[in-house]
Amino acid sequence: MNTHIINWGLATIFLLSCISLLIIYFSDYTTETLSARALPVAIFAGLLAIATAIAFRKPRTA
């Protein structure tokens, strides 16, 4: 049961980070002004995508 909560928690945080990254890019994004804000969010979203994929991975059947 706890793993189910953790999986959906990761998925929720991943969706929120992707939405915030899209908000940054669509708010008149210029590299000079918003790169300090966009780069950490992009790295966080990428690492969280990997963690979410591992968490939702189906166990192998023999």
Around Cβ 36, how many Cβ atoms within 10 Å? Answer: 8
| 56 half-sphere exposure, CB direction, 13 A CA radius | 13
Q: Distance (Å, rounded) from C-alpha 40 to C-alpha 12?
A: 18
The confidence score (pLDDT) of residue 1 equals 61
Where b means 16+ CB within 10 Å and e means fewer, 8-32 reads: eebeeebeebeeebeebeeeeeeee
User: What per-residue confidence (pLDDT) applies to 25?
Assistant: 80
Q: What is the mean pLDDT of the chain?
A: 81
Task: Read off the pTM.
Answer: 0.70
**Structure token pair of residue 55:** 């968490």
